[in-house]
Amino acid sequence: MRTRVDIRPRRGSRTDMAEAEGGVGGGSGARPDMAVQRAELGPLLAMALMPGESWYLVDSRWFKQWKKYVGFDSWDMFGAGDLSLFPGPVDNSGLFGDPETQSLKEHLIDELDYVLVPAEAWNKLVMWYGCMDGQQPIVRKVVEYGLFVKHYKVEVYLLELKLCESSDPDNVISCHFSKADTVATIEKEMRKLFNIPTEKETRLWNRYMSNTYEQLCKLDSTVQDAGLYQGQMVLIEVKNEDGTWPGQPILAKGSGFVCNSYSCRDNASLSQPGLCGLSNLGNTCFMNSALQCLSNTPPLTDYFLEDKYEAEINQNNPLGMRGEIAEAYADLIKQMWSGRQSHVAPRMFKTQVGRFAPQFSGYQQQDSQELLAFLLDGLHEDLNRVKKKPYLELKDASGRPDSAVAKEAWENHRLRNDSIIVDIFHGLFKSTLVCPKCSKVSVTFDPFCYLTLPLPLRRDRLMEVTLVYADPQRRPVQYRVVVPMMGAISDLCESLSRLSGAPAENMVVTDVYNHRFHKIFHMDEGLNHIMPKDDIFVYEVCKPSVDSSEYITLSVYFREKTMRQSNNASGTVLFGQPLLISVPKHKLTVDHLYSVVLEQISRYVKLPLVEEYSATCTGKGTCNGSNGVVEGDIEEMEHQDGGEEVKDKLAEADACHSEGCMPVESARDLQPCKKQLFTFSLVNSSGTSEINSIVEGKILKLNAFSALAIDWDSDTRRLLFDEQEAQAFEKHGSMLQPQKKKAVVALRDCIELFTTMETLGEHDPWYCPNCKKHQQATKKFDLWSLPRILVVHLKRFSYSRYWRDKLDTVVEFPVRGLNMSEFVCDPRAGSYVYDLIAVSNHYGAMGVGHYTAYAKNKVNDKWYYFDDSSVSMASEDQIVTKAAYVLFYQRRSSEEHTAPSPPQEEYDGMDTN
């Protein structure tokens, strides 16, 4: 599970990027037509990853615009594309955390924040479109993961190691390495950094705690196999002239230089068994949380501490991991329950997990429940007492009693799966499907290892939006509105209208990013397209109905004209908040547009007095309303050096030379003066490239939401544009009101929702054996039998194409006396009463949060809070929070059996402890 990070500047930030014509690198090659671009890039984008290849990151926003421009998407059946969406030069600025160093932001997500393209595809895009001036390509290598199942992925984030000499540990140099690099590569780099001659013998140590070192003995090991993690310290030691090592005298005194899997600590500082923290190896809090929950599951921990696992390791199971996961887990549990350490570093355990489950091999944040599922399955297969699994043919219920079918299903399951994990964690579902056409009923019984319970979904959501009023003298106002969770843009407008008084039909909802409109929404679009962190601006567009004139709405971007000293090329920089203006079609002239825009910006652009500004204006011909040039002399506006010089000279000839220009508050008090403050350009929807020239004095033929840029020279912007007022906004009372307390859900509500009958979706039908076709059957889950340790996974994370969300609803669950008997449908089942023994917590947003655990120590029956290497006392009233993610319950001993035994009666066989 990757992380979702808001990569956009918030409202009011300055992220002025050099863009558009003349401000780019590359792009000198002839750009083929859209069909050729699609044909050439299509196969390249579908290429499989191969180890050692170079792939490039491209900002998803730029790439999506390119796809729309050339008609690459499947919905564009004619491949027509959209000429108005010319993407301009490849722009990766949204991926950089620091524009100066061009270091990547943390937690970027593949496909959501960036796309990966092979080298040949990147070269073609740069040849056709160029690349933003000064931006270096983001190139990464494909690396191989996994021991048995080979898994390839692009290593987007390199590993940072802190390097130093053992003789000077304060002189630390940070370097980045690939997980596929070898220890020999690190040694070579360190020799170069610290000027160590090649003839000198050296050895490397990694430090993973304050006084714990481990020698990196195998130079051919990869960074990944060596278990090195983000930010780890690596020391290089140089052999003395007399053949001794500097560290040897210290080693004799027990400094902590050791060569073992776990940490070496002062044996005198004994601690309570089980109260042992786990060091964070770099985004491994998810693993630590799951391990602490399992460590505090008494029957499983006792099994390992008593070495019962040794006789049951199954090294030949093709579904297992040769017993290596079980042995690594046993070693870790013994360390944690030795009472000799306050915390250990689970490095070798993580390395083993990464070898068999490549998704956990890196140092990205993962999901504690997903790791838990892998670990329980891995331990089960490594400890499966069945050496050769028999083939079993599934039988239909065929009207037989549920008890008989359930007994048969459980016995068949045990014939193939017999381990401590099955003994402790496995229960039995009853699944009922009913065909809506022929009423065929299908009943099956399936084993489960944990319950994944849905949370009741919220029916509405809060959204923060900023309303830009049609009245140019009013500052924008920020509102918090309540909208239906699965509503449409029209619902947002209606809700905002009730708070603001602005007519909903006059509203246009936009997503603003980097001083431009990233998206302009239609009224019927779903609100699920809007992410929680999107900057949503709603514009009130005036649509007068005095006459029957047809109005057209246009996008207007602010740009500053710049001159690059390096190559004397002109470019532009986007700034400010974009505008939406509504103009009658019959008045679409440059003169009228100028007056409309001047009116719209009058609150934050302080204009000179018209009398003094135009009193000395002279010149031949009539000044037009765009760029202060004589009509008929220059009609086109292009970023070409020669043309700019001519226009500048002509503009200077018409400029006001008055000394006493005074600012006024509003454009309403004056008429347009002879020298204009800005010029117009017709641009693409990103404002990065000019599409066409504008002809003065004629009716312009523009489409709805065509984009215009108003270009300012630097001096005019500095003197007249009030940046602070342009970014100013007010907060409506809805932003200041305390938010309603979130609804509290009981655990039983989640269980009832899980066991509620539902109709299968059209994309997930059931094949009816009677009808001989797929049908949208009704489906119902029931609980037939429950295990000794009941693991409950609260499904807090939801995913869709446009939406990734975490439900932070508080689920009230009992710490003592959870009675599950009423939910068990076996009429002859015993009592199922459980007590809580552990909780895996997740704090923060999806993918970028932090995992901890609460657990009850089996020695003293007290609760503790485990936060990576830290362990502290806890009380029962602290445990139920909105962060609770995975719950561990233990069945009360009065209902437990000491061990699972073959059933004597039908009913006994179905009580899985």
pLDDT at 351 over 80: no
Q: And the tokens for 276?
A: 């042992």
pLDDT for residue 226 is more than 80: no
- Is-catalytic flag, 285? yes
Rounded mean pLDDT, 260-277? 56
| Catalytic-labelled residue, pool 285, 493, 623, 768 | 285
Nearest to 778 by CA among 405, 401, 442, 429: 442
Residue range 244-255: average pLDDT? 50
Mean pLDDT over residues 482-495, rounded? 89
Mean pLDDT of 323-330: 89
Say yes or no to pLDDT of 116 above 90: yes
Asked if pLDDT for residue 709 goes beyond 80, the answer is: yes
Give the range with max mean pLDDT: 351-360, 469-478, 671-680: 469-478
For the question of residue 850 being annotated catalytic, the response is yes
Q: What is the pLDDT averaged over residues 586-593?
A: 85
Decide if pLDDT at 631 tops 50: no
**Residue 161: strand, helix, or coil:** strand
Strand partners, 581: 554
Q: What mean pLDDT is predicted for residues 694-714?
A: 79
The more confident residue out of 541 and 268 is: 541
Instruction: Report pLDDT for 467.
Output: 94
Interval 817-845: pLDDT, tens: 999 988 898 888 888 999 999 999 988 76
Q: Which residue has the higher pLDDT, 808 or 80?
A: 808
- Kindly state the average pLDDT of the residues 48-63: 89
The continuous run of DSSP H or E covering 422 comes out as helix 420-425
Going by pLDDT thresholds of 50, 70 and 90, the confidence category of residue 561 is confident
**Most confident segment among 102-106, 382-386, 452-456:** 382-386
SS (H, E, C) 872-911: EECCHHHCCCCCEEEEEEEECHHHCCCCCCCCCCHHHHCC
**d(Cα 718, Cα 726) in Å, to the nearest integer?**
13
Mean pLDDT rounded to a whole number for the chain:
77
- What does the alpha-carbon distance between residue 267 and residue 277 come to, in Å, rounded to a whole number? 16
**Does pLDDT of 621 surpass 50?**
no
pLDDT band, residue 292 (cuts 50/70/90): very high
Q: Spell out the alpha helix ranges (H) of 47-118.
A: 60-70
CA angle at 809 for the pair 806 and 811, rounded to the nearest 5°: 125
Mean pLDDT, range 400-407, rounded to an integer: 87
Listed in sequence order, the residues at least 6 apart from 205 whose beta carbon sits closer than 8 Å to its beta carbon are 166, 213, 214, 215, 216, 234, 235, 237, 247, 257
Q: Helix or strand or coil: residue 230?
A: coil
Would you say residue 592 has pLDDT above 90?
no
The pLDDT of 881-890, averaged and rounded, is 92
Cβ proximity of 626 and 590 under 8 Å = yes
Per-residue confidence (pLDDT) for residue 545, from 0 to 100 = 54
Query: CA 432, CA 485: separation in Å to the nearest integer?
Result: 31
Taking only the tens place, the pLDDT of each residue in 379-397 is: 988 898 888 888 877 777 6
Q: Do the Cβ atoms of 528 and 535 come closer than 8 Å?
A: no
Instruction: Say if residue 251's pLDDT is above 70.
Output: no
Give the pLDDT of residue 465.
Answer: 93
Average pLDDT of the residues in 54-73: 88
Which band of pLDDT confidence, cut at 50, 70 and 90, is reported for residue 232?
Answer: confident
Dist. CA 911–CA 837, nearest whole Å: 21
What's the pLDDT at 507?
Answer: 93
Tell which wins on pLDDT, 696 or 289. Answer: 289
The pLDDT of residue 56 is above 80: yes
Q: Could you tell me which residue, 135 or 321, shows the higher pLDDT?
A: 135
- Distance from C-alpha of 620 to C-alpha of 674, rounded to nearest angstrom: 12
Amino acid 305: pLDDT: 93
- Residue located via tokens 């048969």: 408
Beta bridge partner(s), residue 153: 143
- Per-residue model confidence as pLDDT tens digits over 490-531: 999 999 999 999 999 999 999 988 888 888 898 888 887 787
Average pLDDT over residues 391-416: 83
What's the confidence (pLDDT) of residue 659? Answer: 33
Instruction: For residues 68-96, give the mean pLDDT.
Output: 75
Q: What is the pLDDT of residue 324?
A: 85
Average pLDDT over residues 629-642: 31
State how beta strands 257-258 and 212-215 pair.
parallel
Region 580-602: mean pLDDT is: 87
- Choosing from 151, 518, 592, 850, the catalytic residue is 850
